[in-house]
Amino acid sequence: MENKKAKKEEVLQGGKGDRGGTRKPSIFGLLKPYRKLISLLVIFALLSNGINLILPKLIANGIDSFSNGSFNMNAILIDFSIAITLIFIFTYLQSIVQTYASERVARDLRSRLSDQISRQSQAFIEEANPSKLLTNLTADVDSIKMFVSQAIVSMVSSGFLIIGSSILLLSINWRLALAIIAIIPIIGTTFYLVLKKVKVLFLQAREVIDWLNKVINESILGASIIRVINSQQLEYHKFMTANAKARDLGLSILRLFAGLIPVIIFVSNLAGLTILVLGGHFVIQGSMT
């Protein structure tokens, strides 16, 4: 029995586990063969976001030079043109790399899984549950593909922007920076609470997808028997029950994200208001230009 479980884990991972026992699959372990592509993707994301952080500094220098009477429009336009051009180039290259990397990862994973499954016996396929294997080949691989194409860039960009913006704010005015940085834990806590609930719903949705695939598979393979015993209505109700459950879980996830977005927008606007009010107060006092 233990050997069967180990064999099943090996198939679902698309490769061999450790000799001393099964190894739980890791997203970063799956992406290890593609570290060069991922590194290139991260570099382009950091470069484009790094130049984005320079733009507020260029605007501040332009305002200061205009106030001092030494405003040079040509120099400002040249600096902005160079920055915008570099942002466009790095963002374009980032889009190409992330699309290529995600598609290549998905293709290779499906090929490895298909190869592993094709080597197994019919008894193993039945024991592993064909609907679950189908979910591994479709929904699970698509989730990894989405992680590569969106999540990696979002995580790196968010972390870099938070650190870079904090340093930039502290270099301009530390009192104003502390007021803005104090809002970050509110956003982090909101994300944590929502994603904690979403994680549970995603796990339930995965089980429902397995169930739905099983119902569809049984309906197709047993189509002739269903017609003979006249059980179309029963199969229809089975499908509608699984489909309704999947729909309800999907709507629950959407409701959580729909509630998250207004909170994040409100907190972001609150940060903007803090910059205007507190920054304006410092400018009036003459402690900030």
User: What was the pLDDT predicted at 24?
Assistant: 61
The Cα 92–Cα 171 span in angstroms is 31
User: What was the pLDDT predicted at 79?
Assistant: 87
What is the Cα 191 distance to its own chain's centre? Answer: 13
User: What was the pLDDT predicted at 231?
Assistant: 67
R_g over Cα of the chain: 27
User: What was the pLDDT predicted at 96?
Assistant: 92
- Cβ-contact 49, 164 below 8 angstroms: yes
17: its two tokens: 């586990």
User: What was the pLDDT predicted at 19?
Assistant: 42
User: What was the pLDDT predicted at 85?
Assistant: 93
User: In this structure, which amino acid lies at residue 106?
Assistant: A
In sign, the C-alpha dihedral spanning 64, 67, 72, 76 is positive
**Whole-number mean pLDDT of the chain?**
80
Q: Structurally, what CATH architecture does the domain formed by 32-172 represent? A: Up-down Bundle (1.20)
181: its two tokens: 């940085």
Q: Select from 48, 55, 57, 50 the least CA-distant residue to 171.
A: 57
User: What was the pLDDT predicted at 20?
Assistant: 44
- Cβ-contact 172, 61 below 8 angstroms: no
Q: Which residue ranges in the chain fall short of pLDDT 70?
A: 1-25, 221-231, 288-289
267: its two tokens: 């907190």
The Cα 225–Cα 83 span in angstroms is 67
DSSP character for 156? H
For 186, the enclosing helix (H) or strand (E) is helix 184-221
Q: pLDDT tens, 115-148?
A: 888 887 777 777 777 777 777 787 788 888 888 8
- Cβ-contact 275, 176 below 8 angstroms: yes
Distant-in-sequence, close-in-space partners of 63: CB < 8 Å, separation ≥ 6 = 289
The Cα 193–Cα 259 span in angstroms is 12
